[in-house]
Amino acid sequence: MADEKIVIGTETKYPLNGILTIPNETNGLFPAVVLVQGSGPSNMDEKIGNNYPFKDLAEGLSEKGIAVLRYDKRTLVYGKEMRNDTGITVKEETIEDAILAADFLRKDSRIDSNKIFIVGHSLGGMLAPRIDAEGGNFAGVIIMGGSPRKLEEIMMDQNNDVLIQLIISSYH
């Protein structure tokens, strides 16, 4: 397999670095997936502690003949610029970039444009059907760790957890 450094959204205000992992095989066109992260700023490997789940997925899928595109999340790269924009929605934070990633794959002559899938984790999984409907036009949608709860409820719980940790750490 080969990891190729790429940039999605070069024509936008928010270009993002990414990696396209291509299988070793040379015969035929590859099916492909776009990996979409969960909430909050995350890098293309969706690093959590010492774990790199998106990198692991990219390597494992590539070994099975599937190309994988992963990219840094807009809020990781442009968080400071976006912080003061009260009009930011999940469309700007997640959806637009996932669609740009799918478009990037469709332009690659090694990829079977009829076999591009989305794999969304957490918030990315919750948004995957919407990303597909708003222009992703994927062959299929794969949801990992999505939630039946409303996004607002999840965000409230996550914010409460952060506040509790801040309070606890201020006493130590």
Tokens representing residue 146 in the block: 């999505």
Cβ neighbours around 142 below 10 Å, total: 16
Compute the C-alpha angle 113/33/13, nearest 5°.
85
Query: What pLDDT shows up at residue 32?
Result: 98
**By C-alpha distance, which of 171, 51, 34 is closest to 108?**
34
Joined tokens for residue 162: 């952060």
**pLDDT at position 98, please?**
98
Residue 133 — very low, low, confident or very high, per pLDDT cuts 50/70/90? very high
- Specify the CATH number for the domain of residue 133: 3.40.50.1820
Phi-psi bin for 107: left (phi > 0), alpha (psi -120 to 50), beta? alpha
- Number of domains present in the structure of the chain: 1
Tokens of 4: 């190729």
Better-predicted residue by pLDDT, 28 or 62 = 62
Tokens representing 134?
């708003």
The pLDDT value recorded for residue 11 is 94
pLDDT digits over 35-92, tens only? 999 988 999 999 988 999 999 999 999 999 999 999 999 999 998 888 888 888 899 9
- Distance separating alpha carbons of residues 109 and 106, to the nearest angstrom: 8
Question: What's the domain range around 39?
Answer: 2-170
Q: What is the pLDDT of residue 153?
A: 86
Q: What pTM did the predictor assign? A: 0.86
Task: Return the half-sphere exposure (C-beta side, CA atoms, 13 A cut-off) of residue 129.
Answer: 4
Mean pLDDT (the chain) is 92
Give the range with max mean pLDDT: 24-28, 38-42, 136-140: 136-140
Question: Which tens digits make up the pLDDT trace of 141-163?
Answer: 999 987 777 878 877 888 888 88
Rounded Cα distance, 16 and 44, in Å: 10
Q: What is residue 33's predicted lDDT score, i.e. its pLDDT?
A: 98
| Confidence at residue 16, expressed as pLDDT on a 0 to 100 scale | 98
pLDDT given for residue 148 in this prediction: 75
